[in-house]
Amino acid sequence: MALYSVPEVTLTSSKQKMPVLALGTATFPPVDSKIVVNAVLDAIKLGYRHFDTASVYQTEHSLGDAIAEAFRLGLINSREELFITSKLWCSDAHAEHVLPALQNTLKNLKLEYLDLYLVHWPVSSKHSGKFEYPLKKEDVLPLDIKSVWAAMEECQSIGLTKSIGVSNFSCKKIADVLAFAKITPAVNQVELNPLWQQKKLVEFCKANGILVVAFSPLGAAGTSWGSNYVMESEVLNAIAKAKGKSVAQICLRWGYEQGIGVVMKSFNKERLEQNIDIFDWGLSEDETKKIAALPQNRVHRGEEFVDKNGPIKSIEELWDGEV
């Protein structure tokens, strides 16, 4: 019996129910597979049911092993109890490689279908069969999103994924997809936290029936692109102290109250429990106003895709001015 229950939201385009809080498995640099497996098992015991991975994270195998072990231990009884998200890497973001990439992901996970498959970045790269991050600048290619999205739609149509979506897409890039999509993206997963609230993007996506899901909800401290700004914020620390909560809990609760999904990553059992314990209390109006007034700064700027001689010549071009 799980200790906690996570609320679900219905994805507009697929009518599928998705737990609003997910455990992410991105590790840069990679960690031992046993660490990932044990963290996922701890999370399942606590009540996490949504797990987020990607081909480039190279944790699909580990997540698949953890799911198999959870079945063996009787922690879960059916595949339908879980919600599994993975992502199409840039080197596979070519129409003819989308289906094989998804099939490889399913093989890694030892699953028959995904719940959600995302285009990881609005960028393509030379098809190499490898998952390199960061990409070599000379390998970056413009994304033919129309043909790639048609291939994503086919993946949903044949039942290999229940829902499809995008990640790191600006309002303009979402609008471009909506102009030709037969299936509307269910999700746009983006960097989002109290110090990068993306209010315009959230409103645009909501108006078009797309759920925004936040990655780096705590600022991604310890990663190559992250920062300590969120966890060291005086405002957030003061709110946390006054409420007897951790800064992480304040950030995750704030995200939940924004009506978005949240992907957090911790492999520490104590923090996993703290981070799921956010659904039976709330922020006051005054606390919400203080968070709304925080200075804003995008941390994961995507410099690795930008080259004045390449297809994406500036940060502004990558994000269509949403910087």
Catalytic residue positions? 57
In angstroms, the CA 87 to CA 53 distance is 7
Q: Rounded to a whole number, what is the distance in angstroms from the first to the last CA of the chain? A: 44
In angstroms, the CA 293 to CA 212 distance is 21
In angstroms, the CA 226 to CA 219 distance is 6
Beta carbons within 8 Å of 289's beta carbon, 6+ residues apart: none
Q: Please give the backbone phi and psi of residue 63, each rounded to the nearest 5 degrees, phi first.
A: -60, -40
Say whether the peptide bond before residue 30 is cis (omega within 30 degrees of 0).
no
Question: What stretch of H or E contains 302?
Answer: none
How many helices and strands (H and E) does the chain possess?
Answer: 11, 12
